[in-house]
Amino acid sequence: MALIFAGPWAAAQVPDTVAQLSLEKSVITEQKRKPMVVNSRGVSGEVNVNKIAAIPSFLGNADPIRFVRLLPSVSLNTELEGGLYMQGSDHAHTLISQQGVPIYGATHLLGLFSVFNTAHFTGMRFETSSGKEPRLGGMIDMRLRDTLARRVNGEVSVGLLNAQGTLSIPLGSKSALTVSARRTYINLLYGNWLKYADYPLNYGFTDANLTWLWKPGKNDSVWVDLFGALDNGQLHGGILEQIQGKWYNALGAVHWKHYFPEATLKQSVYATTFGLNPVINAFNITAKMDSHIRDYGYRGNLKWKNWDFGAHFSYYHVQPQNPYSEGHQNDRANDGSVPVQHAFETILSAYYSRDLGYYLQAKAGLSGSWYLSPEKKSWWGLSPEVKLTANFMNAGKLDFSYAIKRQNNFNLGITDVGLPLEFWVMAGDVQAPQWAHNFSMAYNVNWRGVSVSAEVYYKMLRNQLEYVGNFMDLYNGAYSLESSTRRGKGRAYGVNLMVQKSTGRLTGWVSYAFSRSLRTFDGDFDGLEYPSKHERLHELDVVATYDFGKVDVGATFVLASGTPYTRPSAIYVLGSRLVCEYGEYNAHRLPAYCKLDLSVNWYIRRTPKGKTGLNFSLYNALGNKNALSYGIHMKPDFSAYTFAPFVLNMRFLPSLAFFHTF
């Protein structure tokens, strides 16, 4: 589904028709010329949300998170993965936020869609480093509109997959309201195709955003931001007779920005939550595994001359996965007694930057953090960060950086394929807070509309936690988070390369990433190092769009190495229990992944005030049946089983959508 954006620049500030038309044309021309990604340091930078519509995505639904997955520092996510694995880090190490407020469940089912309605936002910041935020990896921040709408404007899009709309309404001369909503009806037309390993998948979601922007004076801006999402899904067949559940996402925040003569102050208070209510039926046993995370916080930032000060406070209310099962013929049932966790986090930071002369700029900072765990244990830590930039003007820019990063929560789960079975847990007795040494070197140069970006990185990860439990743990014995996890350390290193063409009718990029992500676990592993579950050694991404005027076309091509998995050495049935004996950990790899997506936008109307047209997209144009994971395929009566790849049975899936902006 194509998304075309009508921004708040659609009307001028003065009531002059000629001046208004000139302003509209100049701004739209500038947006057209702006690259898809403006790289400022290596592959980090600002994403032009106005060009996401030209990039094919799942069944034509343009999506910012799926767009980011085409960048070289983010490992490929298949159709059944919801996380973002950035530069060898786990997906929980990446902060995904909305105007700086964390989003803890940023994708809908199976990672097919993110929770962000792109038209509601004015930009997206992408960084391979999380800066002052308490994450070991990078960050993605969706930016709210910061200019007032002077007339009613918006967009609507209706397709075979979903319907969505955004409306901006001026409320006098000092405020405006923007409302967005989406609703899917996937199974209405795609029910026969949307299957996982030949098992039918029923699914739908609804999400909505509401943002009120108030500018009481030239030095102040206030945003009141609300967001909510609700998902419903069911998967039938196989060993697991049925997985069903509801999960939700919600956010409420107030942001205030004030300009002083020599400083800028930003403050936010917020509440954000993500919860899961899955139910699994198998072997005549029903298991419920409710979980949630709630984060209540404050963020403040003061920029004064060369100084940047920050303050961050969060209170966490977390229910880790809490299994309750019934139907057992003995005492193996889980009783749903996993306690709720309460934790506090405070971070204070100060950064200083200055020009050193001789083409050199430097930035140095220090963050101090205090964390109180659910067990009332305190952890203190200092996180220094140093950056040195050599700006050689036309010859490019070279950056060196080092930082210690800290994070006080973990994301775990029975699967890593986007099913509603992942959950959050706070650091404490289960594992001490995680931290990492991050080293990187980046280079950028622009030449005649072509930009080259490169980054080399090395990370040393400490206090890592990995979930190794499986569905059978819920039925074969009492659930224990401690016994279902492995503790250890890790390291990640790699190279990201990107060449982007940003001018002319043909635009896009070619990128390549080499990445190693390794883990060493405590216990019975003899100190051996193993590849992480999300490691992809090589990935090639090609993104291209061509603008013919009345028509624009787009294509994305991905070729990537397969991820590791652990193959069973023996599988047998003992009474009513299915028992698996596994071989060497992550010693095998899935086949290589290859996919081509295509799209065409045909404009019936294309003027400075809006667009009307049709979008046609073709998912998986090569028709490849890519292996997404390996698992046990067993008949319900246990008469036979195989260990084989799981695939999403969607080939040559076309989609048609109508869009209109005004």
Please check whether residue 412 lies inside any domain of the structure. Answer: yes
Q: Which amino acid, 366?
A: L
**CATH label of the domain that carries residue 257:** 2.40.170.20
Domain that holds residue 589: 8-661
> Angle at Cα 108 formed by Cα 102 and Cα 112, nearest 5°?
120
| Whole-number Å distance between alpha carbons of 38 and 47 | 6
Is the pLDDT score of 282 beyond 50?
Answer: yes
How many C-beta atoms surround the C-beta of residue 237 within 10 A?
17
Q: Best-predicted range by mean pLDDT among 260-274, 410-424, 554-568?
A: 260-274
Residues 6+ apart with CB under 8 A from 436: 136, 404, 405, 459, 460, 461, 462
| Whole-number Å distance between alpha carbons of 114 and 418 | 11
* DSSP code string of 426-459: ESSSS-PPEEEEEEEEEEEEEETTEEEEEEEEEE
| Whole-number Å distance between alpha carbons of 249 and 268 | 19
H or E, element range at 21? helix 17-33
How many C-beta atoms surround the C-beta of residue 431 within 10 A?
19
91-136: per-residue pLDDT in tens?
899 999 999 999 998 887 666 678 899 999 999 999 999 988 999 9
pLDDT score, position 211: 98
Q: How far apart are the first and last CA of the chain?
A: 18
Closest by alpha carbon to 498, among 458, 460, 541?
541
Please check whether residue 3 lies inside any domain of the structure. Answer: no
pTM for the full predicted model:
0.88
- β partners of residue 231: 205, 247
Q: How many domains would you assign to the chain?
A: 1
Q: What does the block give as tokens for 544? A: 């291209």
Mean per-residue pLDDT for 271-287? 83
Q: Best-predicted range by mean pLDDT among 158-167, 190-199, 348-357?
A: 348-357
Mean pLDDT of the chain: 84
**104-108, 522-526, 583-587, 648-652: least confidently modelled range:** 648-652
- β partners of residue 313: 298, 346
Residues 6+ apart with CB under 8 A from 85: 74, 75, 77, 91, 94, 517, 534
Is the pLDDT score of 268 beyond 80?
Answer: yes
Mean per-residue pLDDT for 140-157? 94
pLDDT score, position 474: 61
| Whole-number Å distance between alpha carbons of 202 and 264 | 49
**31-40, 250-259, 603-612, 635-644: least confidently modelled range:** 635-644
* DSSP code string of 123-178: EEEEESS-TTSS-SS-EEEEEEP-S--SS-EEEEEEESSEEEEEEEEE-SSSEEEE
Closest by alpha carbon to 230, among 138, 108, 316?
108
- β partners of residue 544: 508, 555
Q: What does the block give as tokens for 126? A: 């992408």
Please check whether residue 512 lies inside any domain of the structure. Answer: yes
Q: Confirm if 369 and 380 have CB atoms less than 8 A apart.
A: yes
Q: Confirm if 252 and 217 have CB atoms less than 8 A apart.
A: no
Please check whether residue 57 lies inside any domain of the structure. Answer: yes
Closest by alpha carbon to 646, among 414, 467, 417, 475?
417
pLDDT score, position 408: 97
Q: Which amino acid, 659?
A: F
Question: Listing from the earlier edge strand, what are the strands of the sheet with 121-127?
Answer: 37-41, 44-47, 121-127, 139-144, 95-98, 101-102
| Whole-number Å distance between alpha carbons of 50 and 70 | 16
Please check whether residue 111 lies inside any domain of the structure. Answer: yes
> Angle at Cα 23 formed by Cα 19 and Cα 24, nearest 5°?
120
pLDDT score, position 640: 64
Q: Confirm if 444 and 390 have CB atoms less than 8 A apart.
A: no
Beta strands in 237-340 (DSSP E): 242-259, 263-282, 285-304, 307-326
Please check whether residue 2 lies inside any domain of the structure. Answer: no
Closest by alpha carbon to 438, among 403, 386, 462, 400?
403
H or E, element range at 223? strand 220-236
**56-60, 348-352, 383-387: least confidently modelled range:** 56-60
Q: Confirm if 211 and 223 have CB atoms less than 8 A apart.
A: yes
Higher pLDDT, 567 or 18: 567
Mean per-residue pLDDT for 408-416? 80
> Angle at Cα 487 formed by Cα 277 and Cα 573, nearest 5°?
60
Is the pLDDT score of 202 beyond 50?
Answer: yes
Please check whether residue 1 lies inside any domain of the structure. Answer: no
Please check whether residue 280 lies inside any domain of the structure. Answer: yes
Mean per-residue pLDDT for 421-442? 94
Confidence class for position 225, pLDDT limits 50, 70, 90? very high
* DSSP code string of 63-109: -HHHHHTTSTTB----TT-----BTT--GGGSEEEETTEE-S--B-G
Q: Confirm if 428 and 343 have CB atoms less than 8 A apart.
A: yes
Q: Which amino acid, 481?
A: L
| Whole-number Å distance between alpha carbons of 619 and 623 | 9
Q: Confirm if 604 and 551 have CB atoms less than 8 A apart.
A: no
Confidence class for position 332, pLDDT limits 50, 70, 90? low
Residue matched to tokens 């090569």: 622
